[in-house]
Chains A and B, each alone.
Chain A
Amino acid sequence: MKNLNYEIDHSMIDLEESQNKDDIEFLIHLKTEESIKRMRNIREFYESDKVYTDIYFYPHANHQYKVIVKYEGYVPFLVKMFQFKLLKSVSWK
């Protein structure tokens, strides 16, 4: 998204973002046990709300996660990543 800046904590994760029609896809590589645990917590948070199609988590091999977020869920997801300290900062441009 053009109006949001975020800074990745590279000691924890690597992250690539891409647009897919109305959704945004993240490919996240989790580098530590701690970051794996935090990503599981984030997923648990989203999957406990009984809304199934706002965000999808796809665990891949080698501690990679593909996350597909609907456009309206983009900012809340990044804020959640920030809350769990996988991002160092989030700010409006």
Chain B
Amino acid sequence: MGNEAFVALIVFLLTYAFIISEKIHRTIVAMLGAVLMIVFGIVDQETAIHHIDFNTLGLLIGMMIIVSITAETGVFRFIAIWAAKKVRGRPIALLVVFSLITAVGSSFLDNVTTVLLIVPVTFSIARELNVSPIPYLMSEIFMSNIGGTATMIGDPPNIMIGSAVKSLSFMDFIINLTPVILLVMVVVLLFLVLLFRKQLHASEDVRKRIQELNEKEEITDKKLLIKSLLVLFLTIVGFFLHQSFSLETATIALSGAFVLLLITGESYLEFVFNRIEWTTIFFFVGLFVLVSGLVETGLIAKVASFALKITGGDITTTSFLILWLSAFASSIIDNIPFVATMIPLIKDMGEMGINNLEPLWWSLSLGACLGGNGLLIGASANLIVAGLSGKEGYPISFVQFMKIGIPVMIISVLISMIYIYLRYLI
């Protein structure tokens, strides 16, 4: 290993260690790690900028703008109350519909945004039914991570994979991931219903209170609702067709975002720019540059070669190794830096003789996204919901989460493993 590679590895490992320790904000750590890669001459500034994936950043920013305006209309609360009334406030049915709303929401929106929209209405409905909100909150956490795996824009690992692998379109993610995610959702929901069924009871009188709710009152601005839903719909249609128009998904998302700002007026401009999670955006920038140091010094290629030596270059073994490694790694550490490191590694495996990389990409996506359900620290949505729940007097402990999270993760990854084997490897 040359000097440059050694320095790059030290900078990378130190940065990773600080990200995991959470002593300093992850964005500051990642950006400082990236700066060190340039200062130590591992990569020059031009090369570093070249490694930043602007499609990932543009897609994230565009969707954050659209969702922040749409959320202001009260539409998500409207849908939740409407659904609660449709199932007549039956607690178990509510668990299912709130989980499905979260899963569908997460498949098109950021997971954290989705849970932040569903959690307040969950507290509200649970209070009216005199039941604990914890089963609902736990189920929403799991479903946000599972639902987010179904599409290219649902979870950062998929955005990163979709942006890095130009041959994979938005439709490819739906065709390849949505079927297995639907299956995972059904099985996990059955598991959760069985687990929580004894806690979810409400008398007929109490359930009547849900029927008295007026969901229409939740819509705060009808004109804004129509505009934002129209743009959201057209943006999603754009994602389906992006390859036909030879457009990147970021172009579609940013077009939708700025058309929405054009028709809603300048008053929303300041508002949405305050809502964009710049810390997340810069976290990505830092990671892309950080990983570029490993790529440029040939370290990634060496690790890829080592991994192939272990698996003997066998595609089945390599897929399963990536799937389970991604799942366990993502249950402990942030899946964004993990996937940022794995993407060039898998690309290098392609150059080393593995002809069909598709099962490896889907293994990485399924492992990295579904692994987030294993532990409380596995995904941002987990920590945010648990934090809110604790603050409101319903603490979700690390162990309490793990007892349900680990089985959910293992069930999900096992189903994914069988799916990958049957669909791509025989």
**Chain A residues closer than 8 Å to B217, beta-carbon distance:** 59
The segment from A9-17, A48-56, A85-93 found at the interface with B is A48-56
User: In residues 52-75 of chain A, which contact B (Cβ within 8 Å)?
Assistant: 52-53, 56-61, 66, 68
Residue of A nearest to B128 (CB): A58
User: In residues 260-301 of chain B, which contact A (Cβ within 8 Å)?
Assistant: none
In the complex the two chains form, is A60's CB within 8 Å of B391's CB?
no
CB proximity of A54 to chain B, nearest CB, Å: 9
In the complex the two chains form, is A40's CB within 8 Å of B127's CB?
no
**Chain A residues closer than 8 Å to B128, beta-carbon distance:** 56, 58
**Contact flag A59-B218 (CB < 8 Å), given A51-B391, A52-B388, A52-B392:** yes
**Chain A residues closer than 8 Å to B214, beta-carbon distance:** 59-61
In the complex the two chains form, is A40's CB within 8 Å of B213's CB?
no
**Chain A residues closer than 8 Å to B220, beta-carbon distance:** 40
Residue of B nearest to A50 (CB): B388
In the complex the two chains form, is B218's CB within 8 Å of A53's CB?
no
Count of interface residues, chain A, beta-carbon cutoff 8 Å: 13
**Contact flag A53-B123 (CB < 8 Å), given A40-B220, A59-B217, A59-B218:** yes
A66 to B388, CA, bound (A): 24
**Chain A residues closer than 8 Å to B392, beta-carbon distance:** 51-53
Q: Does B312 contact A (CB under 8 A)?
A: no
Residue of A nearest to B120 (CB): A52
Number of A-B residue pairs at CB separation under 8 A: 35
**Contact flag A68-B212 (CB < 8 Å), given A40-B220, A52-B120:** no
**Chain B residues closer than 8 Å to A56, beta-carbon distance:** 123-124, 127-128
Q: Does B393 contact A (CB under 8 A)?
A: yes
Q: Which of A40, A53, A61 contacts B212 (CB 8 A)?
A: A61
**Chain A residues closer than 8 Å to B388, beta-carbon distance:** 52
**Chain B residues closer than 8 Å to A40, beta-carbon distance:** 220
**Chain A residues closer than 8 Å to B134, beta-carbon distance:** none
Q: Does B345 contact A (CB under 8 A)?
A: no
User: In residues 175-228 of chain B, which contact A (Cβ within 8 Å)?
Assistant: 209, 212-214, 217-218, 220
User: In residues 21-68 of chain A, which contact B (Cβ within 8 Å)?
Assistant: 40, 47, 51-53, 56-61, 66, 68
Q: Does B119 contact A (CB under 8 A)?
A: yes
Q: Which of B120, B124, B391, B393 contacts A58 (CB 8 A)?
A: B124
Q: Which of A47, A53, A59 contacts B127 (CB 8 A)?
A: A53
Residue of A nearest to B116 (CB): A50
**Chain A residues closer than 8 Å to B391, beta-carbon distance:** 51
Residue of A nearest to B388 (CB): A52
User: In residues 378-399 of chain B, which contact A (Cβ within 8 Å)?
Assistant: 388, 391-393
In the complex the two chains form, is B123's CB within 8 Å of A58's CB?
no
CB proximity of B207 to chain A, nearest CB, Å: 14
Q: Which residues of B line the A interface, CB within 8 A?
A: 119-120, 123-124, 127-128, 209, 212-214, 217-218, 220, 388, 391-393
Q: Which residues of A line the B interface, CB within 8 A?
A: 40, 47, 51-53, 56-61, 66, 68
What would be 12 A-B contacts, judged by CB atoms less than 8 Å apart?
Answer: A51-B391, A52-B119, A52-B120, A52-B388, A53-B127, A53-B392, A56-B128, A57-B124, A58-B212, A60-B212, A60-B213, A61-B214
- 7 closest residue pairs by CB, A with B: A59-B217, A53-B392, A52-B123, A59-B214, A52-B120, A61-B214, A60-B212
17 other A-B residue contacts (CB within 8 Å) besides A52-B124, A60-B213? A47-B120, A51-B391, A52-B120, A52-B123, A53-B123, A53-B127, A53-B392, A56-B124, A57-B124, A58-B124, A58-B128, A58-B212, A59-B218, A60-B212, A60-B214, A61-B212, A61-B214
